[in-house]
């Protein structure tokens, strides 16, 4: 029996990135697409609990079995794996834009892969750079690198959560760690037509690259493969505080102060 591969994204079911990923992934197993009906970028690991979800079959080029969901990428993975038994791998992407450094915290592309890991499955997120001058990105030149990455990771059974970023014109592949020393989020104030204050939360360009990180590799035109984990525990800090136990609170009952005449 061929492996079952569920494919999701956060750009919506009609994104060209998901079609490319499904095409390459079909070499490694049976593919089913379950993706949001509209774009869900930067939603983080949101799940829908205040309303029901709908799961509707959607025809797509390539003759892949595909369904759209009125929810988030995490919803799509949870629902897709519930309705399709024995899924062994979840792929997310290809996102139209990289997910590097601190973006991993709020990326919906990565959230879909994390949801797979939470369910005890393997999850791999794929993102790429997109030129703002292109109406429809050409993913054909990326296909050999996508196939090579999947070939590497399918064999690497121990990794349950992986973040992959593919530059526009790759020249190789590198194993990397996440860059965490910089944050690219910022608030930009403005005014609406009625002169009332409004605010945009957007990104700013980052400068400087620490060698060996995802951002460094991506900037050097290498495909970045970063193994991640769900456990956010800071082992160093935990070891430090455990070595100095906190004394128990004073449980002796305090008497009220004496009244003076």
- Mean pLDDT throughout 128-133? 71
Instruction: Kindly give the interhelix angle for 143-155 and 16-25, rounded to the nearest 10 degrees.
Output: 50
**Is 98 in a helix, a strand, or coil?**
coil
- Mean pLDDT throughout 194-213? 80
**What confidence tier does 155 reach under pLDDT thresholds 50, 70, 90?**
confident
- Mean pLDDT throughout 56-61? 88
Q: Is the pLDDT of residue 116 over 60?
A: yes
pLDDT tens figures, 232-255: 898 989 898 888 877 777 766 666
pLDDT at 210: 82
Structural tokens at position 52: 């029901």
Query: What's the predicted TM-score (pTM) here?
Result: 0.85
* Residues 6 or more apart in contact with residue 127 via CB below 8 angstroms: 93, 94, 95, 97, 98, 99, 107, 109, 163, 164, 165, 166
CA neighbor of 22 nearest in space, from 128, 119, 150, 122: 150
**What confidence tier does 103 reach under pLDDT thresholds 50, 70, 90?**
confident
**What confidence tier does 14 reach under pLDDT thresholds 50, 70, 90?**
very high
DSSP 3-state percent helix, strand, coil across the chain (nearest 5): 25, 25, 50
Q: Is the pLDDT of residue 171 over 70?
A: yes
**Is 244 in a helix, a strand, or coil?**
coil
Q: Is the pLDDT of residue 130 over 80?
A: no
- Mean pLDDT throughout 135-144? 80
- Mean pLDDT throughout 105-111? 89
- Mean pLDDT throughout 133-155? 84
**What confidence tier does 261 reach under pLDDT thresholds 50, 70, 90?**
low
Q: Is the pLDDT of residue 77 over 60?
A: yes
Q: Is the pLDDT of residue 133 over 90?
A: no
- Mean pLDDT throughout 165-192? 86
pLDDT at 32: 96
- Mean pLDDT throughout 89-111? 89
Q: Is the pLDDT of residue 228 over 90?
A: yes
What is the rounded CA–CA span in Å between residue 66 and residue 79?
13
pLDDT at 175: 95
Distances (CA, A) of 158 to 150, 152, 229: 14, 12, 11
Q: Which of 56-70, 140-154, 238-252 has the lowest mean pLDDT?
A: 238-252
CA neighbor of 109 nearest in space, from 89, 124, 125: 125
- Mean pLDDT throughout 203-220? 82
Average pLDDT, the chain: 87
Q: Is the pLDDT of residue 79 over 90?
A: yes
């Amino acid at each position: 029996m061929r492996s079952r591969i569920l494919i999701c994204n956060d750009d919506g079911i009609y994104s060209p990135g998901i079609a490319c990923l499904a095409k390459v992934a079909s070499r490694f197993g049976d593919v089913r697409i379950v993706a949001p009906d509209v774009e869900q970028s930067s939603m983080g690991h949101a799940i829908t609990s205040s309303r029901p979800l709908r799961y509707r079959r959607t025809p797509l080029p390539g003759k892949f079995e595909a369904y759209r969901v009125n929810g988030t990428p995490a919803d799509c993975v949870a629902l897709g794996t519930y309705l399709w038994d024995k899924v062994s791998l979840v792929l997310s992407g290809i996102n139209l834009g990289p997910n590097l450094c601190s973006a991993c915290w709020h990326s919906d592309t990565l959230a879909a892969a994390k949801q797979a890991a939470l369910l005890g499955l393997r999850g791999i997120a794929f993102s790429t750079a997109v030129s703002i001058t292109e109406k429809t990105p050409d993913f054909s030149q990326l296909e050999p690198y996508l196939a090579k990455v999947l070939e590497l990771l399918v064999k690497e059974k121990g990794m349950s959560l992986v973040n992959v970023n593919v530059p526009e014109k790759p020249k190789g592949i590198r194993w990397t760690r996440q860059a965490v020393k910089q944050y690219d989020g910022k608030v930009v104030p403005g005014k609406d037509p009625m002169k009332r204050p409004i605010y945009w939360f957007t990104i700013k360009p980052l400068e400087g690259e620490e060698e060996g990180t995802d951002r460094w590799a991506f900037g050097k035109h290498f495909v970045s493969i970063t193994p991640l984990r769900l456990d956010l525990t800071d082992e160093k800090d935990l070891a430090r505080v455990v070595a100095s136990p906190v004394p128990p609170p004073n449980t002796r009952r305090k008497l009220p102060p004496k009244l003076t005449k």
